[in-house]
Amino acid sequence: MIPASFDYTRPGSVEAAVEALAADEEAKVIAGGQSLLPLLRLRFAYPTLLVDLGGISELRGVRDAGDALEIGALTTHYELTRDPLIAAHAGLLAQAAGTIADPAVRHRGTIGGALSHADPAGDLPAVVTALEAVLVVTGPGGSREVSPAGFFADYLTTTLAPGEILTSVRVPKLGDGWGYHYEKFHPTAQAWAIVGVAALARRSNGHVAEARIGLTNMGSTPVRAGAAEAAAAGAEASAAAMRAAAQRADEGTSPPSDLRAAADYRRHLARVLTGRALARAAGI
């Protein structure tokens, strides 16, 4: 299938990209294109202009910014799985990125694109939510920083204003004692998560001192499993205790019912997968 016609520009700087976007309200940003190009081919989207960020080298790569990592929006899923800084300080991101689609898609798809696309079944939104990352957005009025909760607004919808681009993701380095695991359920090798759980746990003296849990596909945006986090904090680092805490993983969520799973089943999956993810994160 062939997309409808559009104009195309590949600016060399963020400023030029923002200018091009701001001048045309029907313009769309393209990075790796792994979500956008299928939509264009199926003619679900009709942008008048594609602003390709591919020529903006400053948006590529991972930088050590002291107590955080600054990840350029154009960093591909493949690069996330291979980057030594990510492996050392934000391994959850590498592990989850390695579960996205397949190798060919991971070579093209970018972290900025995956977050801006804001698919509730996408993996990285829940991961940056659990990591308490800061999303850096640049627009005509300059740059601003926004939390994941402030960025993801609804199904396929973010709070990016017209002319704004997600330029980088700042991920706080995980300190000593933290473990992580991304647990994802999908019935076939190549499929979106029916439910995914991004878990972080800090272990101390045989107990879990602190836990952070982000849920994929348990609502129209990624959500924190706050009740399960609270239940895990201070609990003994055992599989039984983690399973018990995970019984509260679906509290406060509004999972969808669709052709692939009913809401009740998603709630069940969230509890089971959270138990597994917490146990792995806590090194059990």
Partner 1 sequence: MKITLTIDGVRYDDDVEPRLLLVHYLREHAGRTGTPIGCDTSNCGACTVLLNGKSVKSCSVLAVQADGASVTTIQGLAAGNGSGEDGWHPLQKAFHEEHGLQCGYCTPGMILAAVDLLNENPNPTEEQVRDGLEGNLCRCTGYQNIVRAVLKAAGSTTGAGVQA
Binding site for partner 1 (CB under 8 A): 1-8, 10, 30, 33-34, 37-38, 40-42, 50, 52, 54, 78, 101-105, 107-108, 189-190
Nearer to partner 1, 32 or 222 (CB): 32
Least distance to partner 1 from the beta carbon of 249, Å? 28
27: three-class secondary structure by DSSP: strand
Least distance to partner 1 from the beta carbon of 33, Å? 6
Radius of gyration of the chain (CA): 19
Nearer to partner 1, 1 or 142 (CB): 1
CA dist 10 and 12 (Å) reads: 7
Nearer to partner 1, 50 or 90 (CB): 50
Least distance to partner 1 from the beta carbon of 28, Å? 12
Least distance to partner 1 from the beta carbon of 180, Å? 21
Nearer to partner 1, 97 or 211 (CB): 97
| Phi, psi of 220, rounded to the nearest 5 degrees | -80, -15
Nearer to partner 1, 52 or 119 (CB): 52
Least distance to partner 1 from the beta carbon of 32, Å? 9
**Extended beta strands in the chain, E state:** 7-9, 27-30, 49-52, 62-64, 68-72, 134-139, 142-146, 152-154, 157-158, 165-172, 178-185, 195-204, 207-216, 223-224
C-alpha separations of 40 from 4, 37, 59, 68, 136 in Å: 7, 5, 24, 36, 27
